[in-house]
Amino acid sequence: MMKRNKTWLITGCSSGLGRAFAQEVLKNGYNAIITSRNPKDIQDIVENYPETALGLALDVTKKEQVKEVIKQAGERFGSIDVLINNAGYGYRSAVEEADESQVNELFSVNFSGMVNMIKAVLPIMRKQKSGAIFNVSSIAGRFSNPGSGYYSATKFAIEGMSYALRKEVAPLGIRVIIIEPGAFRTDFSGRSLTGTRIEISDYKETAGKRRKENDHTHGTEPGNPQKAAQAIIKVEESAEVPFRLLLGTDAINIIRPELEAQLKELEDWKEISLSTDY
């Protein structure tokens, strides 16, 4: 039976998956702290659920804001049972083209911001000996395309960190789940996608084809954000949970052959691999 009094904390709720997560969680009767860098973007959701929604300003790279959100969450609802680390954005650039300041900012939001949130909620979850942390990664956390090397690097970092975190907190009653969406009909390829300011002509046929101005997928993606949110709730309510959860038909169709190719490569080069022991 659904625990109606559970409290969810969701980052990046202004649009896309984060907004869908917020709406669906509240629709299902849970309490939710929904956050955005600009609270005006989520005010309509809060107004629809005045008893169970708390809308707060949050830039996940600012630790003082993170602390304030945790403080207000405790004052309003008393606990945090589920964290959805959703805040983040995309970046396209060939590896050589990338601007160092842009890459640093990308990691600051996509990876370090997520760590900030995890470290803020863990004392609460450790004390209550329960909780769930959903870290939104991507299929780009399993492979990478030309032009997405740095974005994928943030997602690979998320997955590596989450792998260890899961083992560290499982004995404490806390679950960690990585969400790996394919392409969803959000603003990811629109306002949430940035790109390099430097273009090298030699990469025109590789990374160049995937520059933001050449990406025409916005609005045609197969994934339904509301159905993704429903899937997350279903997982959280389950007694057993996956560690990695792919979302979308395209995610399955892309990652299955990727994993099969990795296994084939392991077998093809196994003799050399085995030859390196004493």
Secondary structure element (H or E) that encloses residue 247, with its range: strand 244-247
How far apart CA 224 and CA 247 sit, in angstroms, is 10
User: Which three-class secondary structure state does DSSP give residue 47?
Assistant: helix
Q: Exposure pattern of 83-102 as b/e (b: 16+ CB <10 Å)?
A: bbbbbbbbbbbbeebbbeeb
Rounded to an integer, what distance in angstroms lies between the CA atom of residue 21 and that of residue 12?
Answer: 10
Q: Looking at 155, 162, 189, 203, which residue is catalytic?
A: 155
Catalytic residue from among 49, 150, 151, 203: 151
Rg for the chain (alpha carbons), in Å? 20
Question: Of 153, 220, 232, 152, whose CA–CA distance to 183 is shortest?
Answer: 220
| Closest to 97 measured CA to CA, from 239, 200, 169 | 200
Q: Which of 14, 15, 36, 137 is catalytic?
A: 137
For residue 263, the tally of other CB atoms under 10 A from its CB is: 10
Could you tell me the two tokens for 7? 């409290």
DSSP lists the bridge partners of residue 244 as 178
H-helix or E-strand containing 125? helix 113-128
264: annotated active-site residue = no
Provide long-range contacts, Cβ within 8 A and 24+ apart, for 124-127.
124/70, 124/74, 124/79, 124/80, 125/80, 125/81, 125/169, 125/172, 125/173, 125/174, 126/169, 126/172, 126/174
Q: Is 137 a catalytic residue?
A: yes
Question: Which residues form the catalytic set?
Answer: 137, 151, 155
